[in-house]
Amino acid sequence: MDNPFGLLAELTYRCPLACPYCSNPINLAGYADELDTDEWRRVLVEARDLGVLQCHLSGGEPLLRRDLVEIVAQAHDLGLYTNLVTSAVGFSRPRAAHLRAAGLDHVQVSIQADEPALSDAIAGTPSYDRKIEAMRVVKELGWPLTVNVVLHRRNIDRVAEVLALAEQVGADRVELANTQYYGWASRNRAALLPSRAQLDAAEVVVRAARTRLRDRMDVSYVMPDYYSRYPKPCMGGWAARQLTVTPNGDVLPCPAAQSLPLPRASVRADSLARIWADAPVMTAFRGTDWMPEPCRSCDRRELDFGGCRCQAFQLTGDAARTDPVCHLSPDHGLVARAVEAANAGAAIDDAPLVPRPHR
């Protein structure tokens, strides 16, 4: 067991947007009792002592925390590299200047599309113009900027335009991440899963952009699991490299693991070090001993670790099953049928979306 190098600090699940692909928990009210400033300060100290080097400040929308500057300053003073993951709603110039002075190292701004009306429709609120202004502020204050766009059936056809927008705002990195179907995204899978033709067209655009922009901007493209032959190595292995602390202090090996029927571990009851080493939520699927067939005898078991435990649970009801994304999984038909439906015709384009509620 190695010590983790990355901490995802989910400061709040409150958010001014209502994105239908949000991976936050369905039960948002269960996380309303948020850690206070002193509790987060203690978590950061314990994370540093555990070996964490990177701290990603996320949510929900972390800018809704009035103590965000104090949390950033604490992480900076501890020597952690800090990355703010934000919708940019609330990223005013004065707030940005305070965060810069506190030592924030990097800003990642999400945007829903390159075109204002489409972006605002997906976000569930007018926000496009504020996002563009926030990106300008990020560059003016000298931060590296990552532009993140979650791709799905409603916007993937505009990848070329999204890349042009990222160039225009001077992004150092653009992350084109196909939707992962957890949380609210799982409820909207039928309306969000792109077709094979859409994916093929997007990949051509991305390959050309990587060649053209290789000296100016890093282009990251994350394929949707459902179209892969093998699953992705979930978080580099269960509780192997990173951990997540949720707004109410629960500690998880990944952001989606709150859905699993495992005993909870909280920083309000124990130290990060003890949780990382011994808590059942961390040890349940660590390594390879837990694996069933066909994973147990597969020569890829130390490459993809059986895939995503949360996805396995969501699709089969059993977190110990082989990820159904894998073509070798006995449950692969669950994914194959979803893909078949996504390629069945244009009627699915009118499938209704269930927005994540504003909080």
Binding-site sequence positions for [4Fe-4S] cluster: 15, 19, 22
Binding-site sequence positions: 15, 19, 22
Using a pLDDT cut of 70, give the percent of the chain over it.
97
Query: What is the residue extent of each domain of the chain?
Result: 1-358
pTM: predicted TM-score of the whole model, two decimal places: 0.94
CATH number of 1-358: 3.20.20.70
Question: Residue 110: in which H helix or E strand, if any?
Answer: strand 106-110
> For 266, which DSSP code?
B
Per-residue confidence (pLDDT) for residue 233, from 0 to 100: 84
8 and 242 in contact (C-beta within 8 Å)?
A: yes
Tell me the C-alpha distance between 304 and 222, whole Å.
15
348: pLDDT confidence band, cut at 50, 70 and 90? low
Q: Across the chain, what does the average pLDDT equal? A: 94
Tell me the C-alpha distance between 220 and 200, whole Å.
16
Token duo for residue 60? 């929900």
Residue 346 has pLDDT above 60, yes or no: no
Per-residue confidence (pLDDT) for residue 350, from 0 to 100: 63
Question: 96-124: per-residue pLDDT in tens?
Answer: 999 999 999 999 999 999 999 999 999 99
